[in-house]
Structure formats: C-alpha cells, structure tokens
C-alpha cells in the first residue's frame, strides 16, 4: 500500500481548504500507478519516443515545421540559435534538447540516409563518440530540398492542425509526405515498457516497392526491397530468411560489418566504413584490449585518420601478416561486425503497433490517400466557389448599363448589394463579387474573359469529382508522385551485400599455439604457466609469504581450465589466455584476472583437454559427489557458471580424473576411510548433494581427502571399505607418519 499525504498548510488568501487535510490515508499501489504513473507513461509513448506514419516524432515535426514557416525551404541559411528559439513556440523544452534534435537530422552529422537539414559548421559525426558538435550560435542551417516533399500542399487542408501548448498558434498533427519517410530514414526511440528501432532503406527501392504494392496487393517486396541501406555504408551479411521475417513481422536483426581496404605499399589496413551501432572509439578501445591480452599480435600500430574527407581508421600490420585473416578475427572479436536489431513499432491513430514492411506501406498508402482526397476536395471547393461567382458575373453580361445604373441610383452603400441581387436575380456572394469589380473592368472584354473560364472550371470540377470517386485514379496520383520523388532524389545504395558461402558460414577457429606447459596453482590463488625449457633453467618457485603450491599439472597450451571457487561457482578459461611466465615471478592472481566477485577465492583447479572423465567433490558432512566433467562443457565460450557444486555443506577437496581410483578421507576424530570411487554412481546435475561415504558422529566433520598412495599405510586393509557409508577406522601409530601435519 502507498501512503497518500494531504497537506494541512493554508494560505492567507485561500478561498477554500482541503477537506481531511493532514490525514494519512491508505491508497492502493494499483491506484497510485493508474493516477500518477500511467499518464506519464502514455505521454512518453504517444508524444515523445515513438514515430508516426509520416516518419517523425513530435520533436522532429515541430522543428521542421518551424523552419518551414521561417521560409528556410527556399531561402538562405540562418543561425541555428534563431531556429532553436523559434521552435520553442511549439516545443517548450530547453534549447539543448531542441538543438540536439536538429543536429541528428542534419547533413553534417551523417546519421540519416536523406538528411532533412542542410547544415553549415561543425555538427559532429554519428560514427564518433567524442566528436562534439559546435554551439548553436556558431552553426547555420536551412531545410534540405527534399523537405519540399514533406510540406507539399500542407496549406490545402491535407492534414489536421492543432493548437500549440499555449494556444498562440497551430501546428500540424502529421506532415503530408509524398513518400514513405518512415522507411527511408532510421528512427530509434525508447518509451516506457516499449521501444522502436526502424532501419533505413534505399529511397528508390522503397518507392518502387510501394508502387508494386499499389498495383498488386500480393506483390513480393523482396523483388525490389533488397535490404537495409545504412548512411555509413558497410557490408550486410545477406540472410534472405531473416529479411523476409523483418518484412512480414517488423522484428529481426541484420548483421553489418565494416568495410576495409589493404594498402600493400604501406602494409596497412584502412577501415573506411563501420556498422551504424558502432563508433570509431569503441572499435579502437576493443582492439587495444585485445592487443594487451595478447589475442591480437599482428598489429604494430593504430591511428584514427578521420578528417574532412571522411572516416578512416588505419591499422599498421607486422611483416608477413595476412590482412584478410586478421580482419576476420577482428570482425569476430570487435564491434566492427555488429547486429542491428529491428523493431518497427509505430504509432497508428495514437496506438503503438509493431508492423512489417507490408503493413507499414499499406498504412502509409491509406494516410497518403486521405491527404490527396483532402487536397482535391480543397481545390474542388475553391473552384466551385469561383464558378459560382463567375456565373453571377455572366448575368451582368446581359446588361452592364443596368448594373451601373443600379449602383449609381442607390443612395446608401449598404443597399448596393441587395439592389444588385434583386435586379439580376443573383445571391449575396455573387452580388458582392460584382460590386467589388473595379471601374476599369466594367467593359465587355474583361467580363467575357472571366466568363470564358466557366467552361474550363466545369471540366476541372467534373474531373475532380470523378477522381474522388475512383480509388484507382487516386492510386495513380500516388504512383506519379513517387516516380517524381525517385527521379529527383534517388541515390545509389551505400550498404553492399556479402553472400556467405558454405565455407564462410563455419566460423574460423582461432589458431592457438599448441605446446607442452607446466601449470601451477597456489593456495592463495596465484597461477603460473611455465614451459618445460624455462622450468629446467629456473631455480626455486617464488611464492607469496605463507603461500604454497597446491597443484602441479603437465598439460598443453590448449588445455581448458576450470577454477572452482568458495561461492559454488566455476570460472572457465584456457591455458593460452595466460602468458608464459617463469618460476621467479608470483604469476597471475586468478580472482583479478578472471574478474571474480568481491571476496571470492579459488577453491580448486581442474585441468582438462576434452572434458572426459569425472570430478569428485568431497564435503565436510562426509558426502562425495561424482559429476561427469562433460557437465561443465558449453557450446558457447561462457566464462562463468553458477551452481557448480552443492552448497549444502562446505567443500573440502576436488579431484578430477579419467579413471576411477582409491581415495583416503580423514575426519576430525582422527578416523580414516579408504574407498574406491567406482562405488559411486555419477550424477547428471552439477549441484547434486552427493552420496554419504563417511558416517560421522555429532560435531565431527571431514578435514581432508586425497588420492590413495601405496606408501600411505602400513596396513591399508584396516581402513578400506567395501560398503558405503562407513565410519572408517582410528589411525594406528605406525600409520601416522607424515599424516601428523593434518
């Protein structure tokens, strides 16, 4: 429940008081959300974050309409600060938010396939995270010529107008765009509980697809709509099934990779195009990290050479490096290849709808049809009005002198119109029109010329009425306008396609040097990887004070490492992820290297090359869990698995092996138990509690577990068991030996 507080404060000039003021009342959470949160959420969805069928969010539309009313479609540029200030009449937000909206629509920013604002000055760059745009007082802007298609016939009642926030002027609800702008320029927005992400398509392809659907509702859009076309270019990994899914449902993803060229003379790779979701700085940061980790060793230097001519990221290569193999690795490991997620969420009649390309074009066609009908009806009304006036003027032809006589003999000006109405049998509008004719026009030639327009007007009116009644003719008008747009503004594709062959679909495995290594793990969590040659030439192992080596394994550089921690988690890595080192150094501190949780420590290390065999987990409560090592194998290269073993009792020891063997368990009551691991059945679940192996009395617990060695006991049969669980036997004096240290 939420507490609702009613204020008890009274103002001196208050005319009324709040009933029940100062009383705390219970209010249901659902009621609070409904009254307070839902209006905010709806406002964000409808009036801010999601685009409408004309392709614009309210902030975009208000800015462009303000520039249109400022005469910036055909005039020269003006300071951006002037535009921002004027836009505040429609958009009551801060100048910073308005200017940022303007920047993103500008030609200089390069975020749109067809920019709406022709800019001059530094507007930043969409592909750069750090390149800031200049202040609005330094830059200039005007509307791009393509905006003529957005505002065509807007003054002919093609769209509805509503009052602005303070009722001082009006603004359009939508813009009567003559082509589907919603699909031509990208649009991304995050609302409350929903989002929208619309990828851009080539203008010519969109218009041709729309024409195809207008002619045939069953038209296959993939014939003309080849795929997205991003402003920054790049290479699209062609996947027709995924594209068809986007066309049908409006959801899916497109893989885009950057484009590069190899300069053989200077032995360098020049990246000139990147995916729309990446920035130059993000790609450089990732490459630097890979070089530091030793995963990319082929690059000797990297430079950002972006200038006025465009984006350029140069990678200097070491001698003998294959540039294509290197770039294939960089594609896999950096944002130079990324996915663009599509979510075509658009407001239709104030309701958000996720639609595919088919539905979007159909909705746009319905919207554009209504705009054309309203335009024709507007022109029709004007022509009918003019025809009506000219018919009144035609009656004057019968007797011009009579009209002059009526005007001259009328004593009061207010009686002129009524007397003309009576004298010629015309209505008030016609009489008013006749009365307003200038004296110089009271001649037969002028009146004959005006009345000759009557026949043309009647033809035009009949043609317009015929169009209004014929959906086919309205579609013909839309098609003609689309063809005109293509002729004026079409551009070649910027994003090209890569058609992967079967051999390219299989991801190339990273080449890992394979050589023998010695792996060391210490009690404090330090890890060393030392080559046999280095180990032979080394002296004593350098360790932290009080630390000791708990594991020494001979393996290979390609081996998989499983670090089990005291938080029932396992961190997966590979021996090749650690640098070769020497005995004279401490080694890598594993919790820092693998980014453990705060305070988490290594409990055990298991080394494997093929995930064959099993792992034995020994717990303080006397239970032992036998889990196949394959349970920790994953298809993807996951770095961390939770629930790696049971948390019901503290872990004492972990051992892994290909074959079963004998193990010795020691309890706090100085009892020892020798058993064979084949007596345990493996469990498929990693966090199984295991099987009771050693029975313990109250307050007793297992203190250690280790593989059995023939030299451990003088008489091993005393401690060996054939049934589980077992209590074990008290240690005899002749069997203590080195075990005293436990």
Instruction: Answer with the residue of higher pLDDT: 354 or 447.
Output: 354
pLDDT band at 11; cut points 50, 70, 90: very low
In a 13 Å sphere around the CA of 23, the CA atoms on its Cβ side amount to 7
| Helix 400-409 vs helix 416-424: crossing angle, to nearest 10 | 150
Q: What does the CA dihedral 31, 33, 39, 40 come to, rounded to 10 degrees? A: 160
Active site residues: 138
Please, are residues 680 and 610 in contact by the beta-carbon 8 Å criterion? Answer: no
CA 53 – CA 188 distance, rounded (Å): 14
DSSP state of 106: B
Q: Does pLDDT of 86 surpass 80?
A: yes
**Of 535, 508, 602, 529, the residue nearest 562 (C-alpha):** 602
What number is the average pLDDT over the span 577-581?
88
pLDDT band at 93; cut points 50, 70, 90: confident
CA 345 – CA 360 distance, rounded (Å): 10
CA 435 – CA 419 distance, rounded (Å): 11
Q: What does the CA dihedral 130, 131, 133, 138 come to, rounded to 10 degrees? A: 130
Beta pairing class for 235-237 and 496-498: parallel
CA 713 – CA 469 distance, rounded (Å): 105
Predicted pLDDT of residue 499? 87
Instruction: Answer with the residue of higher pLDDT: 28 or 353.
Output: 353
pLDDT band at 25; cut points 50, 70, 90: confident
pLDDT band at 450; cut points 50, 70, 90: confident
Residue 199 CA: distances (Å) to CA of 230, 504, 539, 704, 718: 8, 26, 62, 61, 76
Instruction: Answer with the residue of higher pLDDT: 36 or 418.
Output: 418
- Which token pair is 319? 């001698």
Starting at the edge strand found earlier in the chain, the sheet holding 614-619 runs 651-657, 614-619, 623-628, 691-692
CA 385 – CA 282 distance, rounded (Å): 64
Please, are residues 358 and 247 in contact by the beta-carbon 8 Å criterion? Answer: yes
Residues in the chain: 742
* Terminal alpha carbon distance of the chain: 58
Please, are residues 395 and 433 in contact by the beta-carbon 8 Å criterion? Answer: no
Angle at the Cα of 605 from the Cα atoms of 604 and 609, rounded to 5 degrees = 155
Predicted pLDDT of residue 503? 38
pLDDT in tens, 210-237: 999 999 999 999 999 999 999 999 999 9
Predicted pLDDT of residue 179? 97
* Least confident range of 490-499, 673-682, 711-720: 711-720
Peptide bond into 725 cis (omega under 30): yes
Residue 498 CA: distances (Å) to CA of 194, 201, 236, 238, 475: 32, 17, 6, 6, 36
The CATH homologous superfamily of the domain defined by 516-741: DNA gyrase/topoisomerase IV, subunit A, C-terminal (2.120.10.90)
pTM over 0.75: no
What number is the average pLDDT over the span 478-505?
85
Q: Does pLDDT of 277 surpass 90?
A: yes
pLDDT in tens, 199-212: 999 999 999 999 99
Q: In the CATH scheme, what architecture does the domain 50-154 have?
A: Alpha-Beta Complex (3.90)
pLDDT in tens, 358-383: 999 999 999 999 999 999 999 999 99
Predicted pLDDT of residue 403? 85
Buried b (16+ CB within 10 A) or exposed e, 230-240: bbbbbbbbbbe
Residue with tokens 């539905």: 359
- Which token pair is 115? 């920019």
Element (H, E) at 336: none
Residue 111 CA: distances (Å) to CA of 123, 276, 283, 444, 485: 11, 8, 18, 62, 21
Percent of the chain at pLDDT > 70 equals 95
pLDDT in tens, 319-334: 888 999 999 999 999 9
CA 483 – CA 506 distance, rounded (Å): 43
Buried b (16+ CB within 10 A) or exposed e, 25-44: eeeeeeeeeeeeeeeeeeeb
Predicted pLDDT of residue 6? 44
Instruction: Answer with the residue of higher pLDDT: 307 or 734.
Output: 307
Domain ranges for the chain, please list them: 2-34, 50-154, 259-335, 366-489, 516-741
pLDDT band at 490; cut points 50, 70, 90: very high
Please, are residues 247 and 224 in contact by the beta-carbon 8 Å criterion? Answer: no
Q: What does the CA dihedral 697, 698, 699, 703 come to, rounded to 10 degrees? A: 20
Q: Does pLDDT of 16 surpass 80?
A: no
CA 78 – CA 138 distance, rounded (Å): 10
Predicted pLDDT of residue 2? 47
What number is the average pLDDT over the span 62-76?
95
CA 564 – CA 618 distance, rounded (Å): 13
Predicted pLDDT of residue 237? 94
**Of 281, 233, 279, 286, the residue nearest 256 (C-alpha):** 233
Beta pairing class for 671-676 and 662-667: antiparallel
CA 54 – CA 160 distance, rounded (Å): 13
Q: Return mean pLDDT, the chain.
A: 89
CATH level 3 topology of 259-335 = Gyrase A; domain 2 (3.30.1360)
Predicted pLDDT of residue 20? 60
Assign 3-class secondary structure to 474-511: HHHHHHHHHHHHHHHHCCCCCCEEECCCHHHHCCCCCC
CA 591 – CA 598 distance, rounded (Å): 9
- The CATH number of 366-489, from 1.10.268.10, 3.40.640.10, 2.10.77.10, 3.50.50.60, is 1.10.268.10
Element (H, E) at 384: helix 357-396
Contacts of 420 (CB under 8 A, 6+ apart): 403, 406, 407, 426, 431, 434, 435
Please, are residues 206 and 216 in contact by the beta-carbon 8 Å criterion? Answer: no
Predicted pLDDT of residue 505? 41
Backbone angles phi, psi at 520, to 5 degrees: -125, 140
Predicted pLDDT of residue 692? 92
CA 299 – CA 671 distance, rounded (Å): 60
- Which token pair is 542? 């350098």
Predicted pLDDT of residue 453? 83
What number is the average pLDDT over the span 95-113?
94
From the number of C-beta atoms within 10 Å of its C-beta (0-12, 13-18, 19+), residue 461 rates as middle
pLDDT in tens, 642-676: 899 999 999 999 998 888 889 999 999 889 999 99
């Amino acid at each position: 429940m939420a507490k609702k507080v009613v204020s008890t404060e009274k103002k001196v000039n208050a005319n009324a008081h709040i009933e029940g003021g100062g009383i705390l009342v219970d209010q249901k959470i659902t009621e609070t959300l409904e009254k307070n949160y839902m209006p905010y959420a709806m406002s964000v969805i409808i009036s801010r974050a999601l685009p409408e069928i004309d392709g614009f969010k309210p902030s975009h539309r208000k800015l462009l309409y303000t520039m249109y009313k400022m005469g910036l479609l055909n005039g020269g540029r003006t300071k951006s600060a002037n535009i921002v200030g004027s836009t505040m009449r429609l958009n009551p937000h801060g100048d910073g938010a308005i200017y940022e909206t303007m920047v993103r629509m500008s030609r200089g920013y390069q975020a749109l396939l067809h920019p709406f604002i022709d800019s001059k000055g530094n507007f930043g760059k969409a592909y750069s995270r750090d390149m800031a745009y200049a202040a609005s007082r330094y830059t200039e802007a005007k509307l791009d010529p393509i905006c003529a298609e957005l505002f065509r016939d807007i003054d002919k009642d093609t769209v509805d107008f509503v009052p602005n926030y303070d009722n001082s002027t009006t603004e359009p609800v939508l813009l009567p765009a003559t082509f589907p702008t919603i699909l031509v320029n990208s649009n991304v927005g995050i609302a409350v509980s929903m989002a929208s992400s619309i990828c851009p398509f080539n203008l010519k392809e969109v218009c041709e697809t729309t024409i195809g659907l207008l002619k045939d509702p069953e038209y296959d859009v993939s014939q003309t709509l080849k795929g997205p076309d991003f402003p920054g270019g790049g290479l699209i990994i062609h996947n027709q099934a995924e594209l068809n899914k986007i066309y049908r449902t409006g959801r899916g993803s497109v893989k885009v990779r950057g484009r590069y060229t190899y300069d053989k003379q200077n032995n360098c790779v020049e990246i000139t195009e990147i995916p729309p979701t990446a920035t130059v700085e993000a790609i450089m940061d990732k490459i630097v990290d890979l070089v530091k980790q030793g995963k990319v060793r082929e690059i000797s230097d990297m430079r950002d050479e972006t200038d006025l001519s465009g984006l350029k990221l140069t990678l200097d290569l070491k001698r003998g490096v294959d540039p294509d193999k290197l770039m294939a690795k960089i594609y896999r490991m950096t944002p130079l290849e990324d996915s663009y997620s599509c979510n075509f969420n658009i407001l239709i009649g104030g309701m958000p709808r996720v639609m595919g390309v088919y539905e979007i074009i159909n909705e746009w066609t319905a919207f554009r049809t209504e705009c054309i009908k309203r335009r024709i009806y507007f022109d029709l009304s004007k022509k009918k009005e003019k025809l009506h006036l000219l018919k009144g003027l035609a009656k004057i032809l019968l007797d011009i002198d009579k009209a002059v006589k009526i005007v001259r003999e009328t004593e009061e000006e207010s009686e002129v119109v009524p007397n003309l109405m009576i004298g010629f049998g015309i209505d008030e509008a016609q009489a008013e029109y006749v009365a307003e004719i200038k004296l110089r026009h009271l001649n037969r030639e002028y009146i004959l010329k005006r009345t000759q327009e009557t026949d043309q007007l009647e033809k035009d009116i009949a043609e317009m009425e015929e169009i209004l009644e014929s959906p086919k003719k309205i579609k013909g008008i839309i098609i003609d306008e689309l063809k005109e747009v293509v002729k004026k503004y079409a551009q070649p594709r910027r994003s090209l396609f890569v058609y992967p062959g079967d051999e390219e679909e299989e991801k190339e495995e990273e080449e890992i040097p394979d050589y023998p290594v010695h792996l060391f793990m210490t009690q404090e969590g330090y890890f060393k990887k030392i080559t046999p040659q280095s180990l032979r030439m080394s002296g004593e192992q350098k360790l932290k004070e009080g630390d000791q080596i708990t594991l020494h394994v001979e393996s290979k550089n390609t081996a998989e490492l499983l670090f089990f921690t005291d938080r029932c988690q396992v961190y997966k890595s590979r021996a090749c992820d650690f640098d070769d080192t020497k005995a004279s150094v401490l080694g890598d501190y594993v919790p820092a290297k693998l980014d453990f949780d705060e305070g988490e420590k290594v409990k055990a290390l298991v080394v494997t090359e093929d995930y064959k065999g099993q792992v034995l987990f020994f717990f303080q409560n006397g239970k032992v869990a036998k889990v196949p090592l394959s349970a920790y194998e994953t298809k993807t290269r996951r770095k961390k698995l939770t629930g790696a073993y049971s948390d019901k009792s503290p872990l004492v020891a972990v051992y892994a092996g290909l074959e079963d063997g004998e193990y010795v368990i020691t309890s706090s009551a100085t009892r020892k138990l020798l058993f064979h691991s084949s007596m345990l059945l493996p469990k498929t679940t990693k966090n199984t509690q295991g099987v009771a192996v050693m029975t313990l009395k109250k307050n007793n617990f297992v203190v250690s577990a280790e593989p059995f060695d023939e030299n451990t006991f003088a008489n091993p049969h005393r401690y060996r068991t054939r049934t589980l669980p077992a209590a074990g036997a008290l240690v005899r004096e002749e069997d203590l030996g080195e075990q005293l240290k436990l």
